[in-house]
């Protein structure tokens, strides 16, 4: 064998070895036992989300909770021939049983948006629901990662944080607002505008999860694209108003449930990969953060790990257009954060437990 052939052989052997190791690690990660609980599993988001999590090879045990109807949802998805064992729990008296030993809790519970409503209109009902459910999480599975989908996320995540603080269980690395749908929309809309494959498009979306607080960073898109100011305005506006677009299209009969379930499942799987030790899992999510001075919660790129948040990444270079958008959102986002905090600090709500369908 000549030297060149020997070098090629060694390189090929090394690549083969790396591939074997990657596959072995993937099998190990998917074989880890992980219990996932969905609170609000009988709702418009909860049902498709339950199916998607049942399909995930990363889930070994799936607990489904709602006020009513959950045993039926559990029976239905349990017939899917995938790994996860499923159990349904109905009624507040069974909430603690459902949460026991959870590694990840996903909360889509709450009332949906209707035409003419913005996310803030949901506050009075959904704030109480999130407070009640997070109180149960603090009592029954205080070490679980918690993914908040219930709107308005800009306020409900601070509500959850205050509940956990009161119980002495708060760990900012374990609490997440799910903003993945904004990222999914931005990728899809950009791909459509530029005739790209949506699965090959990536870009971060920062800020919050409502209206002008949603800021897609098209300047950081991959692959790199050139956009006129008119195109930027249109794509940014459509991303910010994606939820309203769906509410109008459904003519008062629903909100963004299917796409939200998809985005919720994507982020849940990212959290599970982090818990299982997969390296360099990076997603945008709304967490306690100091990346933007004056805003104690903010959505940006986060590296996920075995304890939840491993690292909050810097925003990177922003275009002038994006910098203006960042400045414009600050007051609204700050007010939403404070509204959530004050709700708990003033002893607000407490109830809201009768409306968990979404």
CATH number of the domain that residue 111 is part of:
3.40.50.720
pLDDT for 38-59, tens place per residue? 999 999 999 999 999 999 999 9
- In this structure, are 124 and 174 located in the same domain? yes
Asked whether residue 353 is domain-assigned, the answer is no
Same domain, 155 and 218: no
87 bridge partner residues: 63
pLDDT band of residue 357 (cuts 50, 70, 90) is very low
Is the residue at 12 inside a domain?
no
Is residue 201 scored above 50 in pLDDT?
yes
Domain boundary among 160, 178, 196: 178
Question: What's the CA gap between 291 and 338, in Å, rounded?
Answer: 18
Q: Has residue 246 been placed in a domain?
A: yes
Per-residue pLDDT band for 112 (boundaries 50, 70, 90) equals: confident
Residues 326 and 337 in one domain: yes
Q: Where are the beta strands (DSSP E) in the chain?
A: 35-39, 61-66, 85-90, 104-107, 145-148, 175-177, 205-207, 214-216, 281-288, 297-305, 308-312
**Average pLDDT over all residues of the chain:** 91
pLDDT of 3 higher than 50:
no
Q: Active-site residue 209, yes or no? A: yes
Instruction: Tell me whether the omega of the peptide bond preceding residue 91 falls within 30 degrees of 0, making it cis.
Output: no
Are 328 and 203 contained in the same domain? Answer: yes
User: Does residue 210 lie within any of the structural domains?
Assistant: yes
Question: Residue 25: what pLDDT?
Answer: 45
pLDDT band at 166 (very low <50, low <70, confident <90, very high): very high
**Predicted pLDDT at 28:** 52
Name 21's Cβ contacts closer than 8 Å, sequence gap at least 6: none
Final residue of a structural domain among 151, 178, 205 = 178
pLDDT of residue 336: 96
Q: Which residues of 25-61 are buried (b: 16+ CB within 10 A; e: fewer)?
A: eeeebbeeebbbbbbbbbbbbbbbbbbbbbebebbbb
Q: How many percent of the chain have pLDDT more than 70?
A: 87
In this predicted model, which residue has the larger pLDDT, 100 or 120?
100
The verdict on 239 and 254 lying in the same domain is yes
Instruction: Write the pLDDT tens digit of every residue in 74-95.
Output: 999 999 999 999 999 999 999 9
Nearest to 152 by CA among 205, 111, 105: 111
25: in domain: no
Tell whether 90 and 134 lie within a shared domain.
yes
Kindly state whether residues 109 and 66 are assigned to the same domain.
yes
My answer on whether 185 and 319 are in the same domain is: yes
Q: Indicate whether 10 belongs to any domain.
A: no
Q: Tally the domains of the chain.
A: 2
Residue 300 belongs to domain spanning: 179-343
Shared-domain flag, residues 117 and 188 = no
Q: How far apart are CA 291 and CA 125, in angstroms?
A: 30
Select which of 187, 209, 238, 301 is catalytic. 209
User: Of 178, 211, 242, which marks where a domain is finished?
Assistant: 178
Res 306 pLDDT > 70: yes
CA distance 90 to 117: 29
Question: Which residues are documented as binding site?
Answer: 40-46, 66, 113, 119, 126, 149-151, 185, 260
Sequence ranges of the binding site for substrate: 113, 119, 151, 185
The annotated binding site for NAD(+) is made up of 40-46, 66, 126, 149-151, 260
> Same domain for 308 and 256?
yes
Please check whether residue 336 lies inside any domain of the structure.
yes
Mean pLDDT of 142-167: 97
- Answer yes or no: pTM beyond 0.85: yes
């Amino acid at each position: 064998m000549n030297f060149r052939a020997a070098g090629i052989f060694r390189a090929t052997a090394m690549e083969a070895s790396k591939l074997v190791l990657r596959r072995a690690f993937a099998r190990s990660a998917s074989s880890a036992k992980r219990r996932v609980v969905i609170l609000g599993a009988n709702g418009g988001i909860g049902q498709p989300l339950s199916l998607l999590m049942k399909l995930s090879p990363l889930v070994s045990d799936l607990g489904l909770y709602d006020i009513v109807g959950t045993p039926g949802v559990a029976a239905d998805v349990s017939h899917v021939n995938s790994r996860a064992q499923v159990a349904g729990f109905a009624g507040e008296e069974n909430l603690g049983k459902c949460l026991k030993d959870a590694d990840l809790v996903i909360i889509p519970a709450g009332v949906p948006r209707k035409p003419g409503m913005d996310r803030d209109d949901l506050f009075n009902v959904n704030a109480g629901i999130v407070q009640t459910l997070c109180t149960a999480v603090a009592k029954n599975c205080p070490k679980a990662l918690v993914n908040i989908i219930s709107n308005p996320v800009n306020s409900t995540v601070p509500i959850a944080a205050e509940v956990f603080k009161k119980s002495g269980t708060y760990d900012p690395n374990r609490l997440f607002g799910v903003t993945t749908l904004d990222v999914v929309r931005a990728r899809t809309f950009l791909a459509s505008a530029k005739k790209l494959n949506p699965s090959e498009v990536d870009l971060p979306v920062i800020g919050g999860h409502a209206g002008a607080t949603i800021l897609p960073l098209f300047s950081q898109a991959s692959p790199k694209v050139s956009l006129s100011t008119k195109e930027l305005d249109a794509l940014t506006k459509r991303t910010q108003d994606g939820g309203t677009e769906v509410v109008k299209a459904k003519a008062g009969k629903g909100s963004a449930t299917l796409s939200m379930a998809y985005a919720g499942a994507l982020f849940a799987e990212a959290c599970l990969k982090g818990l299982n030790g997969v390296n360099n899992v990076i997603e945008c999510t709304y967490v306690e953060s100091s990346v933007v001075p004056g805003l104690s919660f903010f959505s940006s790129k986060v590296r996920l790990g075995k304890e939840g948040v491993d690292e909050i990444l810097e925003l990177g270079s922003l275009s002038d257009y994006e910098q203006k958008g960042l400045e414009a959102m600050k007051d609204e986002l700050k007010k939403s954060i404070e509204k959530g905090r004050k709700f708990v600090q003033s002893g607000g709500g407490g109830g809201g437990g009768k409306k968990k369908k979404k």
